Amino acid sequence: MSTPLTPGAAKKSLGQHFLFDPALLKRVANAGGDVKGKTVVEVGPGPGGLTRALLDSGVGRLIAIELDDRFAEGLALWPEARSGQMHVHHGDARRVNIAELVKAVGGELPAMIVANLPYNVGTPLLVEWLKTADWRSTMVLMFQKEVALRICAAPDDEHYGRLAVLAQAASRPRIAMIIPPGAFRPPPKVDSAVVVLDPLPPGEGYDDLNALEAVTAAAFGQRRKMLRAALKSLDGAVDALAVAEIDPTRRAETLTQAEFRKLATAWRNR
Ligand code: SAM
């Protein structure tokens, strides 16, 4: 059913590393909980291994967004595309208003996102999705293991940084499984990991991810420096430290999620 593909046909520029093992793909498809009857957005379906696993797991509506002509055209021929259970959008996921697309094709919001993301666009897409919380529910996303560790890291961990603070301000992330290079065709150079990001319960999230992004970018931009030096690159941020009652001699990697939120609020309200 899926488009036949030889490893040589993968395009490096589009971050193409494909999974074909049905048992593994079934586990990935359901890593964020039962998908039966749900609207799911899949970014980068490629030859359709994960797409097939999602359809076979009983998704209600599948919206697949693929940039590569070969795959978009191939998927559009699947019976599920003809019946309307799957909608294939041929385009760049970075340029699509996914909430509008889901509504336009009759899907339900909030939608789940399940994706084996291309490495080069995975992080910017995640940050954008974290900032727009109203249209999406649980996200099941595959990244390089290193990126997955950065998303889930706690203070004082070497991987703790901007991505951990942003991800944990909008979701509860966890690593569901590690996948070695040999599972992919062609194999990437490093391990991959599936991260499940559940939305935080109402009232527990932070409402201004743009402010949080600005202060974390400055604070971790020079992570070995004390905050009073690192934050000089962001207008008003050193003064915000005092308002937030944070010791200016501390380093960014020691600040808790709550302290970063306080700092972001103080900076925003300056
Ligand atoms: N889901 C498939 C799998 O697990 O075997 C393919 C995963 S492969 C790592 C990433 C896929 O994303 C490729 O099919 C690639 O063409 C597609 N892609 C890359 N950049 C994209 C973009 N900006 N928008 C949509 N799809 C993109």
Task: Read off the pLDDT band of 8 (50, 70, 90).
Answer: very low
Task: Write down the pLDDT at residue 5.
Answer: 53
Please, which residues have CB within 8 angstroms of residue 264's CB and are 6 or more apart in sequence? 206, 208, 211, 212, 214, 215
Asked whether the whole model's pTM tops 0.85, one would answer: yes
Q: Which two tokens stand for residue 12?
A: 């490096």
- For residue 130, report the distance from its CA to the centre of ligand 1, in Å: 20
Q: What do you get for the CA distance between the two ends of the chain, in Å?
A: 58
Rounded mean pLDDT, 79-92: 97
Please tell me the residue having the least CA distance from ligand 1 atom 8.
16
Kindly state if the Cβ of 227 falls inside 6 Å of ligand 1.
Answer: no
Local structure of 41: helix, strand or coil: strand
Kindly state if the Cβ of 98 falls inside 6 Å of ligand 1.
Answer: no
Task: Write down the pLDDT at residue 9.
Answer: 80
Kindly state if the Cβ of 196 falls inside 6 Å of ligand 1.
Answer: no
Distance CA 67, CA 218 (A): 33
Whole-angstrom CA distances from 43 to 63, 87, 258 are 8, 12, 32
Which domains, from first to last, does the chain contain?
A: 12-199 (3.40.50.150), 209-268 (1.10.8.100)
Average pLDDT, the chain: 95
User: Quick one: which atom of ligand 1 is closest to the CA of 18?
Assistant: 5
Please tell me the residue having the least CA distance from ligand 1 atom 22.
92
| pLDDT-wise least confident of 201-205, 228-232, 251-255 | 201-205
Rounded mean pLDDT, 179-198: 97
Structure confidence by residue, pLDDT tens digits, 155-174: 999 999 999 999 999 999 99
User: Quick one: which atom of ligand 1 is closest to the CA of 28?
Assistant: 4
- For residue 19, report the distance from its CA to the centre of ligand 1, in Å: 11
Residue among 215, 211, 179 nearest 195 (CA): 179
- For residue 43, report the distance from its CA to the centre of ligand 1, in Å: 6
Kindly state if the Cβ of 128 falls inside 6 Å of ligand 1.
Answer: no
